[in-house]
Structure 1
């Protein structure tokens, strides 16, 4: 009889889509195993009146899933990499990442507000960088999954909001009645560390089973970005952007603005040294 491997996931449409993508990858790599979802409610999903900014953001979307791993109710957990804290709970590891998707942020605005003045976002990183593009912006917040946020924009709760391109792509959303989608370049808005990457988490004791199944290129890039964030002592509610691709490490920090560093990244054990060099040049801590 084939053993069933339970995968912890949130219940939102995007979380379930991302988990389905991981399951498809695992089914191809481990055809002898059977995988099923363990769908969990998280406090942050249930309490839509919570301010993510005031609560710090760190681990808000991952805590219940990690508890399922620690309590051995699940063997794997699936996260958006950008939501993960830079320090994992003891006994847990990142098994790997799927190949990264489009990393850009997308400005979604009402068609009758082509130059939006009221933009909804709880992300300090997005707020500070988008304010450079739209200096007269007044900021507000909306909560909910991708579909409900699009409806709230269309219904006039704000004139615009910012969404991750990867989430829209994974949900096959290319249009919405009354709304226009504008992709912001990485040069305009540097993504959050880990943005557009799907992380697969496991217990450290099980790491050997899974660590060679996923995308090494994405692992190198996200590890570099998260190591930079960790050096700053920052969680996802600090206005820091970091993105690595093909030798270019682009960062945003409010003290230095947008900066690009040339790094030829070949191995995980190279990352600490490369971040040493970046931090020495920036001198921001």
Structure 2
């Protein structure tokens, strides 16, 4: 059987995730994957502010072009890093089972209240402002190891990383740092956080979906549909997580309020979006 060409970034985390997908396909489809590694423009331009220069798409464009050109069969992404829109002709085949969706606050040892927090994410910044009102924010680019080294060296008092990424890299501790997982009432995660997405040409979805996790797909399809319905782009402070029968949601319009919706409406993104919009209108305070 012809091997499956798997497009991936070549950062340590991206490669770890690519190998998880390759192992899944070998086990469930008897399909061998060959990795096609890319350094994306987002990787090359480490000094760019992602918020100002194009956001999440800076890390996906080269992989998607390889799919469209027929040079790769699938591309593997951290779901939270996928833009809401994708090029015509491409689709998400599905996801590996979701890992821990939480964010982790990484603090220098001895720092109880961080004064400088390194994160460029609007979602993380706005929620961290509620936890640490006196803190200031700066960007910190680079892979996970680079960020941890820089915080340990004193570039900032703290940063925030995804729990799933740390686990996939086998990082549970780091010299000079303390890891503090953030509870859902402290930090609502990004859409799709904790899940690995498999992207392919739209005509090929049926080839790969049987190997992937349907429960995770149902959760993330709702999260992404809700994000689109509420007009929350990559520059919006927006988080959503479907967990069992509960939707956890954070939107910059809610101010310091988080929204939880249970059971009813969770299978219908449009109805859920209407419910959320109704809740937003009931929350006092200025639009931010």
Partner of 1:228: 226
The CA RMSD measured in Å over matched residues stands at: 1.7
Matched, 1:50 2:48: yes
Residues 265 and 271, structure 2, Cα contact 8 Å, conserved in 1: no
Residues 22 and 32, structure 2, Cα contact 8 Å, conserved in 1: no
Aligned residues: 281
Q: Which of residues 33, 36, 48 is equivalent to 1:35?
A: 33
Matched, 1:189 2:168: no
**1:265 Cα offset (Å):** 7.1
Residues 192 and 236, structure 1, Cα contact 8 Å, conserved in 2: no
Gaps of 5+ in 2: none
**1:266 Cα offset (Å):** 7.9
Q: Which of residues 268, 271, 274 is equivalent to 2:269?
A: 271
Q: Which of residues 198, 210, 213 is equivalent to 1:212?
A: 210
Partner of 2:25: 26
**1:115 Cα offset (Å):** 1.5
With the length of structure 1 as denominator, give the TM-score of the two structures: 0.94
CA offsets 1:215-246 (integer angstroms, 9 cap, x no match): 11111111111111112222222101111111
Residues 56 and 235, structure 1, Cα contact 8 Å, conserved in 2: no
Separation (CA, whole Å) in 1 of partners of 2:281 and 2:64? 34
**1:282 Cα offset (Å):** 3.1
- Greater helix share, 1 or 2? 2
Separation (CA, whole Å) in 2 of partners of 1:246 and 1:264? 12
Gaps of 5+ in 1: none
Specify the SS of the correspondent of 1:53: helix
**1:275 Cα offset (Å):** 2.9
Partner of 1:179: 177
Partner of 2:128: 130
Residues 253 and 280, structure 2, Cα contact 8 Å, conserved in 1: no
Partner of 1:255: 253
